[in-house]
Amino acid sequence: MSYSRFSTLPDVRKTIEGRLIAYCKASDIGLALENASFIKDIKKPYLQMVLLSSETINADMRAKREREYGFFQINICIEQGTGAGRAEAIFQDLKDLFPVVPKMEHLSIEAPPKKSPGFNTEDGFYVIPITFYYRQERN
């Protein structure tokens, strides 16, 4: 895959995944990353991270800087029938992990995360999707 000289997707992914890996290891939560093998365990909660769409704009008149706005989604997956309490606690942890301020390295979260309604999957999980809006500046 090739990126333009201003592309920030690898940096965005590295920052987000790095924080999630550290959190999941410390919390004994599984983590399913894009295009990586992962085996689900119905008794163990896991997170699934996906980078969604992004838009790059010129940040100045000379087109020397670019600003990228985009979304990433984290699905919180827990065993069906166990209540939403554990997922709600994980949601709060994720809000704390990706704060609106301060800026994380070269990435900033632009608004509090949006939590979508939960749903059940055929393989026995209850999933709550969480969407984050980010911005990254690039010279």
Model confidence at 49, pLDDT cuts 50, 70, 90, reads very high
Q: For residues 66 and 100, which has the higher predicted lDDT (pLDDT)? A: 100
- One DSSP character per residue, 98-129 reads S-SSS-BTTEEE-SPPEEPPPEE-TTSEEEEE
pLDDT at 3: 34
Cβ–Cβ < 8 Å for 134, 70: yes
Residue spans of the domains in the chain: they are 10-63+94-112+123-129
- Geometric angle at alpha carbon 41, from 46 and 26, rounded to 5°: 45
Residue-wise pLDDT for 90-133, tens only, equals: 999 999 999 998 777 778 898 999 999 999 999 999 999 999 99
> How many other C-beta atoms lie within 10 A of the C-beta of residue 33?
16
88, 118 Cβ separation under 8 angstroms: no
Per-residue pLDDT tens over the stretch 121-136: 999 999 999 999 998 8
What pTM, to 2 d.p., does this model score?
0.84
Q: Percent of the chain having pLDDT more than 90?
A: 63
